[in-house]
Amino acid sequence: NAGVTQTPKFQVLKTGQSMTLQCAQDMNHEYMSWYRQDPGMGLRLIHYSVGAGITDQGEVPNGYNVSRSTTEDFPLRLLSAAPSQTSVYFCASRPSTGPATYEQYFGPGTRLTVT
Amino acid sequence: RKEVEQDPGPFNVPEGATVAFNCTYSNSASQSFFWYRQDCRKEPKLLMSVYSSGNEDGRFTAQLNRASQYISLLIRDSKLSDSATYLCVVRAGGGNKLTFGTGTQLKVEL
């Protein structure tokens, strides 16, 4: 049981490049989300999904796209990287029912630098 | 006013000390509360949920004060391994959104 996995761990992009951050979970969780963490800002929600085929925007969605074709995978796409997107990105999942609802499991993070 | 506020610290305490952190929240309709722990350059991990009646897990005690809109985390007999950032997390009533505080840094020293 690997939990939540993310790739890559580190990435450097040039302004304007695009890329996809991968996220997968093997806990059969319906709810998945992407956060970015910046110093002094806390974790901010980018996009989330309540199940396969359903996605919605969080508080900072601009410049990012997501899709959810399976329960397990939730990739995050940066369309045209900007220096303001330099951050640490965390993918998370949690069950949507039961006593552990709202208890999030995070992946190890992707450190992204945009130059 | 921020939805969730924490004193960033750092709190520097000697090993064996008792330390407490508070976290205030602005939405009186908030329904679920959690403490997460985040080690340097690692992902956040759930430490404990906070129940209305308060709850304890070993050396850790969490309490909720709805009247004053804050939650607290008490750590007894601090260990070097407790050094980390502690994140307060709040869910507003009726929704899925979790709001994270910016965290309180704890450093336990010899």
Q: Do A42 and B100 touch (CB under 8 A)?
A: yes
Residue type, position B32, single letter? S
**Residue-averaged pLDDT of chain A:** 95
Provide, as residue numbers in chain B, all residues whose Cβ is less than 8 Å from the Cβ of A105. 46
**CB–CB of A104/A25 below 8 Å?**
no
Alpha helices in B1-110 (DSSP H): none
Q: B78-108 pLDDT, tens per residue?
A: 999 999 999 999 998 667 789 999 999 999 9
Provide, as residue numbers in chain B, all residues whose Cβ is less than 8 Å from the Cβ of A90. 43-44
Query: Which residue of chain B is at minimal alpha-carbon distance from A49?
Result: B96
Q: pLDDT tens digits for chain A (115 residues)?
A: 789 999 999 999 999 999 999 999 999 999 999 999 998 888 999 999 999 999 999 999 999 999 999 999 999 999 999 999 999 999 999 998 887 888 899 999 999 999 9
Provide, as residue numbers in chain A, all residues whose Cβ is less than 8 Å from the Cβ of B42. 108-109
Nearest to B86, CA basis, from B102, B70, B71: B102
Q: Do B101 and A102 touch (CB under 8 A)?
A: no
B1: which 2 tokens? Answer: 């006013």
Percent of chain B with pLDDT over 70: 98
Q: Do A90 and B44 touch (CB under 8 A)?
A: yes
